[in-house]
Amino acid sequence: MTSKLARFLLAMALVLSVAALAQTGSAAAAPASAAPSATTGTGNRIGTINLEQAIIATNEGRRDFEALSKKLEPKQNELKGQNDEIESLKKQLNTQGDKLNEDARQNLVKQIETKQKQLDRSLQDAQEDARNQQQEIGQRIIQKMAPVLVKYANENGFGVIIDTSQPWPQSPIVWWGESLDVTKAIVDAYNTQSGVPAPPPTTGAKPAGTTRAPGTGTGTKPATQAKPADPKQ
């Protein structure tokens, strides 16, 4: 349980849950494909975009996910406090259990079980709440990003742009060259249109969304490239 809580607190601190944004990316991709102007392109170039990273890398995404992180801090502290209390009771049981009478020992065991169940429920509720709020941010941004992507595609001769957020075999894309990637270009265009300034750097922790977007380096990468671990695993 301690490990599970630690992973959750880390995910809350970073805010971005890959699993949550994976759902956001697939669910919110519809507006882009359904945009009326998306069918008017005449280009024949093929491009790729990592929608997950694009959402996180925008100034708006960084700002809103960092604000959400601060909003969730009290819940983090509450869960940590509950977990610390359980660990203290477990330590007491391990060190004093053989010295307690049967009633006292059973009462301590019952306290631990009851508090553990309460923590499990609280943890599950907190994870669901965090995912829902993350998805709201992601869906809002991707809906506004869709026309930016379509405009960029039409102006630069793209006939199709493929989302590479998911690795193979979840995605049918096995491999692609980074030279095809337009993630950074879309993020830059989105930031220009939104007018949202880059948030100031945070102290101590690397802000969510500062990971290098694909396409800013050289070479190629496989679709099976390692991704951050899902905190639920």
Question: Using one digit for the tens of pLDDT, what is the confidence trace for 115-148?
Answer: 999 999 999 999 999 999 999 999 999 999 999 9
- Taking only the tens place, the pLDDT of each residue in 203-212 is 554 444 333 3
Is residue 4 exposed (0-12), middle (13-18) or buried (19+ Cβ within 10 Å)?
middle
When pLDDT is cut at 50, 70 and 90, the band that residue 3 belongs to is: low
What predicted TM-score, i.e. pTM, was given to this entire model? 0.66
SS3 category, 109: helix
Q: Is the pLDDT at 35 greater than 80, yes or no?
A: no
- pLDDT score of 40: 53
> Which of 90-104, 125-139, 142-156, 195-209 is least confident?
195-209
In a domain, residue 167? The reply is: yes
* Domain with 67 in it: 2-73+135-201+208-222
In a domain, residue 44? The reply is: yes
When pLDDT is cut at 50, 70 and 90, the band that residue 41 belongs to is: low
In a domain, residue 106? The reply is: no
Q: What mean pLDDT value characterizes the chain?
A: 76
In a domain, residue 37? The reply is: yes
Q: How many CB atoms lie within 10 A of CB 109?
A: 15
Q: What percent of the chain has pLDDT over 70?
A: 68
SS3 category, 151: helix
- pLDDT score of 4: 52
The mean per-residue pLDDT over the stretch 23-46 comes to: 50
In a domain, residue 149? The reply is: yes
The mean per-residue pLDDT over the stretch 92-116 comes to: 90
Q: Is the pLDDT at 14 greater than 80, yes or no?
A: no
In a domain, residue 83? The reply is: no
Number of domains present in the structure of the chain: 1
> Whole-angstrom Cα distance, residue 181 to residue 39?
21
In a domain, residue 42? The reply is: yes
Q: Is the pLDDT at 82 greater than 90, yes or no?
A: yes
Q: What percent of the chain has pLDDT over 90?
A: 54
In a domain, residue 196? The reply is: yes
Q: Is the pLDDT at 17 greater than 60, yes or no?
A: no
SS3 category, 226: coil
